[in-house]
Amino acid sequence: MPSLNKVFGDLPVTIFEAMSQLARDNNAINLGQGFPDDPGPEDIRKAAADASLNGYNQYPSMMGIPELRQAIASHYGHWHGLKLDPMTEVMVTSGGTEALTSSILAVVEPGDEVICFQPVYDSYLPIIRQAGGIPRLLRLEPPDWRLNEEMLRSAFNPKTKAVLFNNPLNPAAVVYPREDLELLARFCQEFDSIAICDEVWEHVVFDGREHIPLITIPGMRDRTIKVGSAGKIFSLTGWKIGFVCAAPALLKVASKVHQFLTFTTAPNLQAAVAYGLHKPDQYFYDMRKDLARSRDRLTKGLEDIGFPVLKSQGTYFLTVDLSPLGLNETDEAFCRRIVNDYKVAAIPVSAFYEQDAVTSVVRFCFAKKDATLDTALERLADAVHRRKR
């Protein structure tokens, strides 16, 4: 057997799939991988059904159907005052992960350094390495996970081709303030680096917080690739519709990668997302309010059990620290034990580290019905007290 690609040959199965598989095997409540247990907005699903029955079902344009590219441009114009040309600056992909992969492969060449922040989403590093890039890992520190000048100064250098920045940040659930974005923007300009900005959680922000796209910070318009995801915006994660928005010179190369990764994306789902993006602002505010309520329910329940909860500013997630509970087990062992013995799946945050992992933090997804959260909480209370079930 000839040797195979080492970047991928040595990788474990992604933690999200691994935990969801364990959840399925154990018939557990899945608070691991981030997806709601609600079927998603009925009008958007009807629009997809209608487009399948009455619309066009052959290959759509490789860049995405024109209605969706228009809708993405007008959506960001409306929400962020960002002016995008739908024909040269917007591309539809098969999910956020593909959007990120197309963006990374478009930018990174052998020997380029790419700055990433730990906790780091698990798809970034393998793709950077496949492109021959060298990840430079910086570490964000709880409880604030903020950027600072000293940290950026230690990593940016003339070989820094790009920085990969996730905002709002999964799994730490931080929504970055303008000050941090301006600081990062200053370094990108000083070192002539490109920012690949994973903003898939952009609409999932709480307590009146505002998501600020890095591309709108002065000086960043032509050096930022903005990645978005309809799955997260509309709680339809299985649809896998992502977006890449960038200046024409950047988008053009990303499209050359996309054309050989997936080429195009199901047209009925694209039509339905185009419809959804025109929803009134109230839809988005209501979605945030509902999710914030679920966050508060899970937070209170976990605090009652004794978990210190790091409050979530955005995303579907909150994190808890295991150390004060005296359980004497790592996040991974805890997650394995609770899915097998107590039928609740969660994500060990050590999966978001390559070096010097934090091994006492666990991520829970709260985008679930009240009854799902309440049952999970009962089981978690038993797990903490090691009561038999």
Among residues 223 and 240, whose Cβ is nearest to ligand GLN?
A: 240
Helix axes 96-107, 248-261, angle to 10 degrees: 120
- Does 16 bind ligand GLN (CB under 6 A)? Our answer is yes
34 contacts ligand GLN (rule: CB under 6 A): yes
Least distance in angstroms from the C-beta of 173 to ligand GLN: 11
Q: How far is the CB of 336 from ligand GLN (least distance, A)?
A: 17
| Minimal distance, residue 366 CB to ligand GLN, in Å | 12
| Cβ closest to ligand GLN, residue 33 vs residue 313 | 33
Give the count of beta carbons closer than 10 Å to the beta carbon of residue 311: 13
Nearest of 237, 277, 244 to residue 262 by alpha carbon: 244
Tokens 């995008």 found at = 84
Longest dimension (CA), the chain: 60
Q: Among 30, 33, 294, 350, indicate the residue that binds ligand GLN (CB under 6 A).
A: 33
170 binds ligand GLN, rule: CB under 6 A: yes
| Sole residue written with tokens 């047209």 | 267
End-to-end CA distance of the chain: 47
- How far apart (Å, rounded) are the C-alpha atoms in residues 365 and 232? 13
**Touching ligand GLN, residues 315-344 (CB under 6 A):** none
Query: Is residue 372 a contact point for ligand GLN (CB under 6 A)?
Result: no
Please give the angle made by the CA atoms of 187, 249 and 176, to the nearest 5 degrees.
35
Q: Which is nearer to ligand GLN, 33 or 70 (CB)?
A: 33
Complex with ligand GLN: residue 89 or 331, whichever CB lies closer: 331
97 binds ligand GLN (CB under 6 A): yes
Size of the site for ligand GLN (CB under 6 A): 5
Task: Identify which of residues 50 and 122 has a Cβ nearer to ligand GLN in the complex.
Answer: 122
Rounded CA separation 276/39 (Å) = 15
What is the rounded CA–CA span in Å between residue 174 and residue 164? Answer: 16
Q: Using CB under 6 A as the criterion, which residues of the chain lie in contact with ligand GLN when the complex forms? A: 16, 33-34, 97, 170
